Every structure is written in structure tokens, then in C-alpha cells.
Amino acid sequence: MEAIEMIKERRSVRKFKNEKVNRETMREIVDISRWAPSWGNFQVARYTFVDDETMIKQIASKGVNGFMYNVGILENAKNVAVLSFVKGKSGKLDKDEYATSKTNVWEVFDAGLACQTFCLAAHAKGIGTVIMGVIDDKSISKVVGLPEEETVAALMVYGYPDEQPSPTPRKDVDDIMRFAGE
Ligand SMILES: Cc1cc2nc3c(=O)[nH]c(=O)nc-3n(C[C@H](O)[C@H](O)[C@H](O)COP(=O)(O)O)c2cc1C
């Protein structure tokens, strides 16, 4: 798939076929995703896949703050990915001190890059995704048993698309770019 086509045609998919995605496909997608850039090449992003029905139900009931829109998507989901990152590394040049006024914000930035790379890689492999930011990260950590040193960045529901969402609107180029000094 052409890179430009891939970027422009990826959509958030919220309706999936009633099918688990095989684990080898997810390995291939992570194999691509790991080429995302990261602060200091620390590669702090981690991917935890959930294809167990009971665990997905627990995420639906405890993990999205009761936000019904997300609960509805999760209730029909067969596959969920928890994107997490190892805390306290990105943003530092030496062991203790953060290098910029953004302190640890760079770890979330790294997670964002990993997230988009994952969604594009999945799209290229015919797998739809939707990122969920309305989440209760502590509850999700508990349900999936994340290691202590990690925190949840986002949930992603994924699967074989059962809808072809229309393009979502975008701001005009002139509304979002400028040349400094003009
Ligand atoms: C950080 C972030 C959080 C999001 N949270 C949710 C969410 O909780 N539930 C949901 O259905 N979509 C969520 N989305 C998807 C956006 O609504 C979607 O990306 C946007 O409307 C553009 O549509 P597109 O992805 O199809 O281009 C989120 C997207 C991002 C990047």
C-alpha cells in the first residue's frame, strides 16, 4: 500500500466482524510498529493484546469510565490492544534529570507516535482500529495485569472491519500552517 494512500485512507473503525484476529497477524503489525521513532530510541511503548471475552467485558465495564459510546464498541469487540509505556525514561538525557520543561510529557508523545504507527500498520494489513482515550488507565492496568513500571496510554479496539467509514472532515491546510515571520 502506498504511504500517502495509507495515511489518508485510514479511518477509525467501530464496527467489526465477529472474529478474533490471529496472533501471528498481530506479531507482524508490532514488527512494523516497532520502527516508530522514540525519545533517545528508548522504545518505551508496549502492546498488550486481549482476545479473552471475559477480560474484554471487564474492560468494557470498568475501563472506560462508563462512557457509553466506548462501552457499546467494546461490548461487540473480539480484540482489544492496550498501548502502554515504560514510565520515567523518555525526556531524560541522563538517569535522573528531565532535559526539557516538558519533563515526562515526552513519554506520552512517544506513545502517540507508536499508536499512529500501529494503526497505520494494522490498516496496511487489513485490520481496522479505533483509539480510545476516554479510559480509566488504573482499572485497565489491573484487569490486564500490566507490570508496575508501565502505565496505559490508550486502548485500541481492533479487528476485521465490518463498515467502511466515510472520510472525517479535516481543517484546510491554510488554517493549520504558517511560515514564521510572515
Ligand atoms: C487520542 C485520541 C483519543 C480518542 N478517543 C476516542 C474514544 O474514546 N472513542 C472513540 O470512539 N474514538 C476516539 N478517538 C477517535 C477519533 O474520534 C477519530 O480519530 C477522529 O474523529 C478522526 O476520525 P478518523 O480516525 O476516522 O480519521 C480518539 C482518537 C484519538 C487520537
- HSE (side-chain half, CA atoms, 13 Å) at 149: 6
Averaged pLDDT, 114-126 = 98
- Is the CB of 130 inside a 6 Å radius of any atom of ligand 1? yes
- Residue 71 alpha carbon to ligand 1 centre in Å: 14
Measured in angstroms, how far is the CA atom of residue 172 from the centroid of ligand 1? 19
Provide the 10 A C-beta neighbour count for residue 181: 4
Which residue CA neighbors atom 29 of ligand 1 most closely? 131
Ligand 1 mean position to 135 CA, how many Å? 12
Give the atom of ligand 1 at the shortest distance from the alpha carbon of 14: 11
pLDDT tens by residue, 16-73: 999 999 999 999 999 999 999 999 999 999 999 999 999 999 999 999 999 999 999 9
Strand, helix or coil for residue 43: coil
C-alpha of residue 12 to centroid of ligand 1, in Å? 7
Q: Tell whether ligand 1 has an atom less than 6 A from the beta carbon of residue 40.
A: no
Q: Does the structure show a pLDDT above 80 at 131?
A: yes
Mean pLDDT, rounded, for 70-86 = 98
> Does the CB atom of residue 116 touch ligand 1 within 6 A?
no
* DSSP three-state, residue 136: coil
Q: Average pLDDT in the 143-165 region?
A: 98
Average pLDDT, the chain: 97
Please tell me the class of the 12-162 domain: alpha beta
The verdict on the CB of residue 132 being under 6 Å from ligand 1 is yes
Please provide the DSSP assignment of 104-149 as one string.
THHHHHHHHHHHHHHHHHHHHTT-EEEEE-S--HHHHHHHHT--TT
Q: What is the pLDDT of residue 96?
A: 86
Does the beta carbon of 131 lie inside 6 Å of ligand 1?
yes
How many Å lie between the centroid of ligand 1 and the Cα of residue 27? 24
